[in-house]
Structure 1
Amino acid sequence: MARDYMKPRRRFFHKEKQLNRSKAGNTTLFVLMAICGVFMVMPLVLIFNNALKPLDELFIYPPRIFVRNPSITNFSDLFVLMSGSWVPFSRYIFNTLIITGVGTVGHVIFASLAAYPLAKNDFPGKKFLFGMVVLSLMFSYNVTAIPNYMIISWLGINNTYLAVILPAFSYGLGLYLMKQFIEQLPDSLMESARLDGASEYKTFWSIIMPNVKPAWLTLAIFQFQTLWGNTGTSFLRSEQLKPLQYALQQIVAGGAARAGASAAVQFIIAAIPITFFIVCQSNVIETMTTSGMKE
């Protein structure tokens, strides 16, 4: 017989608001949002069309947004360039899958495990630890690049996958996001599980994680985007360990002679994160719009 506490219980509440805008105001707001939406989507439209443009359309002036004679020549040129590399193209893809996949999954797990006691348990130094997490959000990657490199070198994992994957486990944004979301879960869920004899790990995996699925999917998107754009040049010296992003950037650096292949590269770089976002889009919107939970 399945225990009742094992089932996710999300009950969101939203206060009803009386909108006083007129029809003209709503229409104006809609038009402004539509204009902003067009400006936001225009770079993606341009990237997609450039990938299908032959060279004569890529160099035409003034530039055109939409392709007139679509062709896949740019992708075939990219394939030829990558085939001529002394490191197989499949190797770059494999490296990217390892770094992005392990780094994303590991970050979600470690951030969730660390956020659970911060959100639902009281212990000495709790506020200080969380304050340090919030403080870490103020510093960009460039500020901490040298200390990170020194730590990785001290651990002796330079020029390995771990040099890129291990720092990904400790991004403060994930811990902050998960802690804030787990705090909204009713304490009665955990209390019911403990009364039934469930351990803390059982409570975490069976109650916490299913109920905060929108949060960790949102976190996975952020981390996936970060690792997908990582070239690994700070820690990876061996060409056999470089990710796909590094190889594609080398093609873009070829200048006008590789304009077609560069257009195909830009499409590939943008397409993968967008696809991942579309798959998880509904959960991301739920995370951003949730106002609270109640028992």
Structure 2
Amino acid sequence: MSVFRAIRSIIPRRPANRSLFGDAMIFSFLALFAAFTALPLMYIVSSALKPLDELFRYPPRFIVVNPTLTNFTDLFQLLSNSWVPFSRYVFNTMFITLGGTAGLVLFASMAAYPLAKHKFPGSRSLFTIVVLALMFSPHVTAIPNFMIMSLFGWIDSYAAVIVPAFALPLGMYLMTQFMSQIPPALLEAAKIDGASEYRILWKIVMPLVRPAWLTVIIFSFQSLWSGNSASTYIFSEEKKSMDYALSQILMGGIARSGAAAAVTLLMMIVPITIFIMTQRKILQTMSTSGLKE
């Protein structure tokens, strides 16, 4: 009897208004949807392990028959022959990604706090502008951004990529929505105890909105890691990002098709790994960002 009780304690209880058949149907639908969603990722992994004869086989096969690591060895050989060390491209990418992400979290938090917890003239208009900015594609603002960076003299520098990343509208929107759900009584109690606005923000508000800024970090990291904006503003080869270096391999023709398949897989590994590690926080943020107190 104790074994059955242990099993029943592990299995979550089913709602009274739902049958076992209903649970089976929901699970089957979710499993089918998950398998369908995973198909592109499985195809990329399979293509990275295919030899050249399987890559150009017609009709193409979804699953690799003779897996090989030749594509990765060819890729590393191409990178080792570059006159700029590949480690330099990695450093540039990490510097731009970490700098832009840290700046976004800092400025989005400091800007969202007064919008969410202080009523001042024009606050609603500013938040409306932030919401409207979500509709604009980065391609729409590419020319104005280039003109502004050129006016500041930041062309061909890291600042031309890092500084515009501070103004990601989605970051400020999520932080504002989450901060607006914090009870005002909690902040009033901190003010009565003598806490300053900066201390309230970093000691009380930021720990409470942790899912929000973790989600902002993920979106910013993915955008800067795999984005090609660095090639627009940076012309010096030693300052270009890893995405630019690997994109040159993709343009190498049929002979580099295997290396190109390996490039696609390598560029996806880091963002997907980070997303898997923090997916619970992201889902929590998406499910509560539209709620009000």
Matched, 1:192 2:199: no
More deviation, 18-27/117-126 = 18-27
Q: 1:38 aligns with which of 27, 35, 39?
A: 35
In structure 1, the partner of 2:5 is: none
Mean alpha-carbon deviation: is it higher for 33-42 or for 284-293? 284-293
- Whether the 8 Å CA contact 1:157–1:163 is kept in 2: the answer is yes
Aligned to 2:69: 72
What residue number does 1:289 align with? 287
Q: Who is 1:167 aligned against?
A: 164
1:217 is matched with 214
Q: CA offset at residue 132 of structure 1?
A: 1.2
Which structure 2 residues correspond to residues 16-55 of structure 1 after superposition, within 5 A? 20=17, 22-55=19-52
Contact 1:108–1:219 (CA under 8 A) maintained in structure 2 = yes
Tell me which residue corresponds to 1:278. Answer: 276
C-alpha distance after superposition, 1:95-136 (max 9, x if no partner)? 000011111111111111100000001111111111111111
> In the alignment, residue 278 of structure 1 is paired with which amino acid?
I
Worse overlay, 30-39 or 207-216: 30-39
Q: Counterpart of 1:249 in structure 2: which amino acid?
A: S
What is the alpha-carbon distance in structure 2 between the residues aligned to residue 79 and residue 280 of structure 1? 30
Q: Does 1:203 align with 2:200?
A: yes
Give the TM-score, by structure 1 length.
0.89
Q: CA RMSD in A?
A: 1.8
Give CA-to-partner distance per residue, 1:217-269, whole Å, 9 cap, x none. 11111111111122212111111111000111110111211011111100011
1:58-137 equivalences under 5 Å are 58-137=55-134
Distance 1:94 1:290 in 2: 36
Amino acid at match of 2:225: W
Instruction: Supply the distance in 2 between the matched residues of 1:152 and 1:109 (Cα, whole angstroms).
Output: 21
Q: 2:146, 2:16 → 1: CA distance?
A: 53
Inter-partner Cα distance in structure 2 for 1:287 and 1:125: 27
Choose between structure 1 and 2 for higher RCO, CA contacts under 8 A separated by at least 6 residues: 1
- Tell me the residue number matched to 2:7: none
Q: Which residue of 2 aligns with 1:157?
A: 154
Q: Distance in 1 between matches of 2:252 and 2:30?
A: 39
Q: How many residues align?
A: 277
Match of residue 146, structure 1, among 138, 143, 146: 143
What is the distance in 2 between the residues matched to 1:126 and 1:285? 28
- Aligned equivalent of 2:263: 265
Q: Distance in 2 between matches of 1:82 and 1:195?
A: 60
Aligned to 1:9: none
The Cα of 1:190 is off from its aligned counterpart by: 1.2
1:246 maps to a residue whose letter is: Y
Structure-2-length-normalised TM-score: 0.89
State the Cα distance separating 1:35 from its structure 2 match: 2.1
Q: Give the secondary structure class of the aligned counterpart of 1:174.
A: helix
Between the aligned partners of 1:188 and 1:278, the Cα distance in structure 2 is: 35
**Structure 1 stretches lacking a partner, 5+ long:** 1-17
Aligned to 2:238: 240
* Cα distance in 2 for residues equivalent to 1:22 and 1:255: 57
Q: Distance in 1 between matches of 2:16 and 2:132?
A: 38
